Structure 1
Amino acid sequence: MKPQNTADEVSTQVAPRSDRRPADPILLDTAEVARMLSMSTSWVYREASKLGLKGYKLGRGRNAKVLYKKTDVLRWLEQQRIH
């Protein structure tokens, strides 16, 4: 009969790396949004807020990044569907 695992042995067992999937990002930068929408980054900066796609500005000045929630981008894209 095989002995049962103790609590210490169970907690140290980890799935092999090949079984893990990389996590989907929650926030996308402007270049990623542009690639997702097949548009230019300048279009995203210029038009996205006018069309209702709101970004989050992180940082200040020239080094600030504008990030967008992936769920917001997908929801906005779905609203653009032609029936």
Structure 2
Amino acid sequence: MKINYKNKNNKHNFEEMYQVGNVIQWINGNIYLVVDHGELDYSLVDLTNNKVYATYDTLENLISDLASESDVLVNAEINVF
């Protein structure tokens, strides 16, 4: 997998930022994809190692536990080879 990204607007409206399909960069440099499992479960997938980082029953709980002012919404292009 090849990931190219550049930072988008860095406003911190977490309800808009943490939506299914969005990619977030954390302060540690790792980037995470917000995914929906279809059974009321939402997760962050760490795109640096392709592992599920955390799973919550709602997006609100995910945001409450994980969102930080240092988070950056990025525009990512993911190519699978």
Q: With the length of structure 2 as denominator, give the TM-score of the two structures.
A: 0.24
Higher RCO, 1 vs 2 (CA within 8 Å, ≥6 residues apart) = 2
> Which is helix-richer, 1 or 2?
1
More strand by share: 2
Report the TM-score when normalising by structure 1: 0.24
